[in-house]
Structure 1
């Protein structure tokens, strides 16, 4: 029998090599009793990693950062950030490490990053560890977002460490391995700007252009074009969040990527009853990051990005500010266009419909949904059935039947495209009660509910028999005071 060939894993050092001022070499903490809980085989294959090898001792060592390939240099990344509006000049990877970059099957660079890998000099008094439940949450929700077609970091694996993690109670520890286009954040630029080193800021901006927005390099003003590209990417991203009812929960500037990917799934959740004031995060006591505030917060964060970029936009500050303001003003246009287009698709509206007719229809629908606290996911999916002549699934969710009937009469007169609606209105999202059920079981060692949930969420638009409970709103017993926690 031939001996098994151990694959060679090469991790690039582009970020650490090009931006050493923002990369502190560091090692992951040892893992007492590693146990692989969940592995994303499809993602592994796309990264050129052998799933069978990743299950081996060496593979699990890579996934925990305790056995890295020769030549690899894990680093803790430096960044600053506004957290709930307050500026912190030195945040950084307090419980995370960038192992390096891989190249996927399409030739694109991808960060391989750990979360929960132990203390670093950026830990600020924290223990640097993560618990099984929050890491499984990030795995579930990030992979659900990917299946929904929303730009996101992805989860490669969760490994239990065998180490107790002390929070309000003692919890089993875990490490998440995360994959991203990069981990460049608005906060990365804020940190570079605060060093008062124009050359570093320029190198960082050029690195971001080359990695994420190469078309900017071909313009007359590459750094302004970088800002405009990030504005457009974030406007599109947040519109997509709003269209599926996703609440990020902690939209600090260090949690906004330059790539336009969703990152850092801490106290995230999906709304059930439609309400713009919905807040799930236990630490968002003022509702700063409520569901309906997300577009406004994104624009605010981008203003902070603009402030960091000012030295690259013009020699004179007044001129730089004017350029930044003019570009930032396009955020609302980009967002409105993305959101309107998404709503038109969700309602199956025909092309060429008069703008005022479409706008009135959408505005009235949002009012109807809010006044009646309808279940967001079920209602839009039910409208697809209504477009086929089956009014019940959507109508039965509304208390004010007269208001619904009046609105539906106007909408149905436009002959909505039901097939198009089914392609954009998911039947399955990570319902909060189902996520909690899977996480509780997984924390106790039973991974079967997690596996079932992941299978359901991998095909969110395809209704399948036997999965009715995954499409239903939370039972009344789940309660209205549901809270999520960041896990630190």
Structure 2
């Protein structure tokens, strides 16, 4: 594969050249065939011998210009300038057949100048979790980094206990974070900050250069993409867990997976990170933290924008997020997404969505199963049979009344669109997953992999990458967790 080194050559002053450090008895155990084809990478290039040669030999094409990036970040609200790629290296950028460029980033590459006395390693547990999460979110239409391949090893790595070391190559448009801009602003390095902006305009926001206010256009793009991403998190019950500004992408993509979780029961205040003692990054706090992080990023734009300009852009965040969230929720409930001129109908739709979410919250119902059951049983509402849905809830009378209201509203909406209940159901089944990434199943997959059995991981990936299909042979992955397996919280080492 041919690599480009735009970041390494154009921003050499704000990065450090570092070679990957090999791990003991490494071998490739998982390859993302779909992604490698999309990027134009031959499957033979991801075979163990070829990949290890490219990564670790002196003539290896993947290590000749590998770098660790320098940045800072607000971690749990506190500014920390001592951050950077502590266990990952940017190998370079690859040009896909489509003409777009993608970072190749090696996680678990060993110590860097930014490791802060840590070993720079990743463990099998965390790399599998990241691999699963990237593919699961991508399949749901949520922007995310993705894993190209995963290498296991016999390298012992100390975390809370001794674990197996692992590496992975992940990819996304760019690994530039809010924290990059914050660091060079707060450390009073205006020339480096300007160089970072110029690089970003050239490679990631070229359309902004057509404007008389390019920095404003770039900031607007970051605000909008962040709002859209978080709206999708909220609509699909995803809790990131560590929304530090060094974990926030300028492209509005999900990356730096740690103790994440998809909700089991719908508990809005759920905290997936057991290190988050104050609940700063709880599920229902994600929209406000997104805005907090954008405010932190805005400081780096102050040399180029007036305060009032920054405020005007930030004010678009909430509207963008709410509009996208409402669109997604209407889609998930099979309600008309297009503009409706009748204010009474608009109000009824909002009330119906609100009541559905209140039912899930009050009953602590399984977030994902509830939407899927509604999709699968939709035609029973058409025939005025509400029992098949209501019997899945404790307060059946409340749900039955919701179904009555839904039937009446849907009939009105269908008359506007010349659509049918069957067509609505088909659409709902394409947006309400039957299979969701659950922490208890991820733990099961990891336990098998630690015994060198990756077949369970491959099986789980099969349903996560096509989560709306039936997969009768793998139906057990669709079952909600038992009570003791619900709401698993993990540490930042995850």
TM-score, normalising length: structure 2: 0.92
13-22 or 384-393, which deviates more: 384-393
Following superposition, the deviation at residue 152 of structure 1 comes to: 0.7
Show the counterpart of 1:121. 113
The Cα shift of 1:71 comes to 8.2
2:137 matches 1:145: yes
Q: Is 1:483–2:489 an aligned residue pair? A: yes
Q: Following superposition of structure 1 onto structure 2, how do residues 61-460 of structure 1 map, counting pairs within 5 Å?
A: 61-62=53-54, 68-69=60-61, 72-313=64-305, 320-350=306-336, 351-353=338-340, 354-389=345-380, 391=386, 394-415=389-410, 417-460=424-467
Which residue of the partner structure matches residue 414 of structure 2?
A: none
Which residue of structure 2 aligns with residue 464 of structure 1?
Answer: 471
Deviation string, structure 1 residues 139-193 (Cα, Å, up to 9, x no partner):
0111111111111111011111321001111101001111010001000111121
For 2:152, what is the secondary structure of its paired residue?
strand
Give the match's secondary structure for 1:123: coil
Q: How many residues align?
A: 473
Q: What is the distance in 2 between the residues matched to 1:202 and 1:30? A: 35
CA distance in 2, matches of 1:290, 1:406: 31
Shift of the 479–232 alpha-carbon distance from structure 1 to 2, 3 Å rule, reads closer
State the alpha-carbon separation in 2 of the partners of residues 342 and 474 from structure 1.
Answer: 25
Q: Give the Å deviation of 1:110.
A: 0.5
Match of 2:415 in 1: none
Cα deviation for residue 63 of structure 1 reads 5.7
CA distance in 2, matches of 1:144, 1:67: 36
- Does the 8 A contact of 2:28 with 2:48 survive in 1? no
Q: What residue ranges of structure 1 are gaps of 5+ in the alignment?
A: 1-8, 314-319
Following the alignment from structure 1 to structure 2, what is the Cα–Cα distance between the partners of residues 138 and 48? 22
Indicate how the Cα distance of structure 1 residues 188 and 70 shifts in structure 2: closer, same or farther if over 3 A, else same: closer
The answer to which of 54-63 and 233-242 deviates more is 54-63
> What is the DSSP-based 3-state SS (H/G/I as helix, E as strand, rest coil) of the residue aligned with 1:467?
helix
Distance 1:335 1:200 in 2: 32
> Quick one: distance in 1 between partners of 2:249 and 2:62?
29
Supply the distance in 2 between the matched residues of 1:67 and 1:287 (Cα, whole angstroms): 48
Look up the SS of the partner of 2:4 in the other structure. Answer: coil
The 3 A distance-change label for structure 1 pair 47 and 400 is same
8 Å contact kept, 2:46–2:149? no
C-alpha displacement of 1:58: 2.4
Q: Deviations over 1:235-281 (max 9, x none)?
A: 00011111111111100000110111111111111101001111111
Segment of structure 1 superposing worse, 278-287 or 54-63: 54-63
Distance of 2:351 and 2:30 partners within structure 1: 46
Do the aligned partners of residues 397 and 56 (structure 1) sit closer, same or farther apart at CA in structure 2, a change above 3 Å counting?
same
Label 1:447 to 1:392 Cα distance change in 2 as closer, same or farther (>3 A).
farther
Distance 1:64 1:134, change over 3 A: farther
Unaligned runs of 5+ in 2: 411-420
Aligned to 2:15: 23
Change (3 A) 1:298 1:394: farther
Contact 1:251 1:289 in 2 (8 A): yes
Which has the higher mean CA deviation after the structures are superposed, 448-457 or 411-420?
Answer: 411-420
Q: Report the Cα distance in structure 1 between the residues aligned to 2:113 and 2:232, rounded to whole angstroms.
A: 36
In structure 2, which of residues 40, 47, 52 is the aligned counterpart of residue 48 of structure 1? Answer: 40
Distance 1:322 1:64 in 2: 50
What RMSD over aligned residues (CA atoms) do the two structures have, in Å? 1.8
CA distance in 2, matches of 1:168, 1:396: 44
* Cα shift at 1:102: 0.4
Specify the SS of the correspondent of 1:89.
strand
Report the alpha carbon displacement of residue 472 of structure 1 after superposing the two structures with TM: 1.4
